[in-house]
């Protein structure tokens, strides 16, 4: 089954979930192409052409300079009708949530949104979606003849597994007129401020509501400092203003994949997990042995963070001499 991956750029910069979605496409098992839409995207298309793909489509038009749901839907509908893939994959971004369901209905299909994985069965592919904050997994089988549409959850595939290669670039100029586009682009929604780039950190110490109050933050700060790690947090910590918003990890914060992620007093709600489950090694400290964070942790310490964290700081300092 052939896959067309629609990757995402904004103002010439990649959304890094694009690479994860490319991996989802590459691992699907059939021929894979990718498309990037916008204006002045030749450089981005060339970057894509260095991946193992059958073809790269640079979808360009003056009316695609700024994102609009109408513009993207019309342009990508024309591309999909031309390429005729079995599957179309998107990263599950805010933008994709905006236009992809509408695009899917143009083909009498629905968008299988926020999939965390898929498997191949004799009757065709089956996608997995999480329900009730990750308590249940639901299998979704696409119906009808296709093409089928699916968006892939952040962190479901690892961007560093993208396979390099070479692919030809084809410029595709859709037929668009200004009258087709009803939206007037405004300042885009910011998924989170990026003053701190947690995505580049090798070690992250992340703190949750278990820390109880703002005055206790220096306890985990000391651990981050001892380990040479970046400090991050769950959403309630940032919502309370105990740490700045740009340190938030999760579905409405940053998606990180460090070598080590230490979750301190974090329960492991699905919105937090999607932002950090791509970490190579996860260490959790929580006094509740049933906390869901332990389901993704490689190492778990059940106990009181106010005893464990200072003891860890001492040990790290000793080990570092
Ligand atoms: C649309 C939406 C988007 C969201 N986006 C995000 C997001 O981007 N990031 C995010 O993190 N959340 C997000 N959330 C919130 C998410 O659902 C959870 O509410 C949040 O992650 C919980 O944060 P927490 O684990 O710090 O707090 P809690 O769930 O309250 O967990 C605190 C944990 O600390 C432990 N604990 C308490 N005291 C101690 C102690 N002394 N020692 C050790 N452990 C202790 C407890 O056992 C508990 O497990 C979002 C929610 C929604 C609805």
User: Does position 20 have pLDDT exceeding 60, yes or no?
Assistant: yes
Render pLDDT for 306-316 as a digit per residue (tens, 0 to 9).
Answer: 999 999 999 99
Mutational pocket test of ligand 1: of 286, 289, 297, the residue with most ligand atoms within 8 Å of the beta carbon: 286
Render pLDDT for 73-111 as a digit per residue (tens, 0 to 9).
Answer: 999 999 999 999 999 999 998 899 999 999 999 999 999
Render pLDDT for 137-186 as a digit per residue (tens, 0 to 9).
Answer: 999 999 888 899 999 987 788 888 999 999 999 999 999 999 999 999 88
Ligand 1 atom nearest the C-alpha of 291 is 49
Q: Which residues line ligand 1 (CB under 6 A)?
A: 208-210, 234-236, 248-253, 265-267, 269, 271-272, 275, 285-288, 291, 304-306
Render pLDDT for 236-291 as a digit per residue (tens, 0 to 9).
Answer: 999 999 999 999 999 888 888 889 999 999 999 988 998 898 899 999 999 999 99
Ligand 1 atom nearest the C-alpha of 233 is 11
Render pLDDT for 283-298 as a digit per residue (tens, 0 to 9).
Answer: 999 999 999 999 999 9
- pTM (whole model) above 0.85: no
Going from the Cα of 265 to the center of ligand 1, the distance in angstroms, rounded, reads 8
What does the H/E/C string look like for the chain? CCEEEECCEECCEECCHHHHHHHHHHCCCCCEEEEEEECCCHHHHHHHCCECCCEEEEEECHHHCCCCHHHHHHHHHHHHHHHCCCEEEEECCHHHHHHHHHHHHCCCCCEEEEEEEEEEECCEEEEEEEECCCCEEEEECCCCCCCEEEEECCCCCCHHHCCECCCCEEEECCCCCHHHCCCCCCCCCCCCCCCCCHHHCCEEEEECHHHCCHHHHHHHHHHHHHHCCEEEECHHHHHCCCCCHHHEECCCCECCCCCEEEEECCCCCHHHHHHHCCCCEEEEEECCCCCCHHHHCCEEEECCHHHHHHHHHHHHHHHHC
What is the average per-residue pLDDT within 193-207? 81
């Amino acid at each position: 089954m052939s896959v067309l991956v629609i990757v995402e750029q904004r103002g010439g910069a990649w959304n890094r979930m694009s690479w994860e979605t490319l991996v989802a496409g590459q691992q699907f098992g059939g021929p894979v192409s990718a498309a990037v839409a916008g204006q002045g995207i030749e450089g981005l298309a060339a970057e894509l052409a260095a991946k193992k793909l059958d073809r790269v489509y640079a979808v360009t038009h003056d009316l695609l300079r700024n994102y609009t749901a109408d513009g993207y839907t019309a342009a990508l509908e024309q591309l999909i009708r031309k390429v005729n893939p079995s599957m179309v994959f998107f990263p599950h971004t805010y933008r994709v949530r905006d236009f992809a369901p509408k695009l899917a209905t143009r083909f009498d299909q629905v968008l299988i949104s926020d999939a965390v994985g898929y498997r191949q069965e004799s009757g065709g592919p089956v996608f997995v979606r999480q329900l009730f904050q990750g308590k249940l997994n639901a299998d979704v089988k696409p119906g009808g003849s296709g093409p089928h549409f699916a968006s892939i959850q952040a962190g479901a595939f690892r961007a560093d597994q993208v396979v390099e290669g070479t692919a030809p670039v084809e410029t595709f100029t859709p037929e668009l007129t200004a009258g087709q586009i009803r939206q007037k682009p405004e300042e885009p929604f910011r998924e989170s401020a990026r003053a701190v780039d947690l995505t580049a950190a090798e070690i992250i110490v992340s703190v949750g509501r278990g820390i109880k109050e703002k005055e206790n933050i220096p306890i985990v700060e000391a651990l981050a400092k001892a380990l040479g790690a970046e400090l991050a947090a769950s959403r309630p910590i940032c919502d309370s203003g105990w740490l700045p918003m740009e340190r938030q990890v999760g579905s409405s914060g940053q998606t990180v994949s460090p070598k080590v992620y230490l979750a301190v007093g974090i329960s492991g709600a699905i919105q937090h997990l999607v932002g950090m489950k791509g970490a190579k090694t996860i260490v959790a400290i929580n006094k509740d042995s049933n906390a869901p964070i332990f389901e993704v942790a490689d190492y778990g310490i059940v106990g009181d963070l106010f005893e464990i964290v200072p003891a860890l700081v001492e040990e790290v300092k000793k080990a570092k001499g």
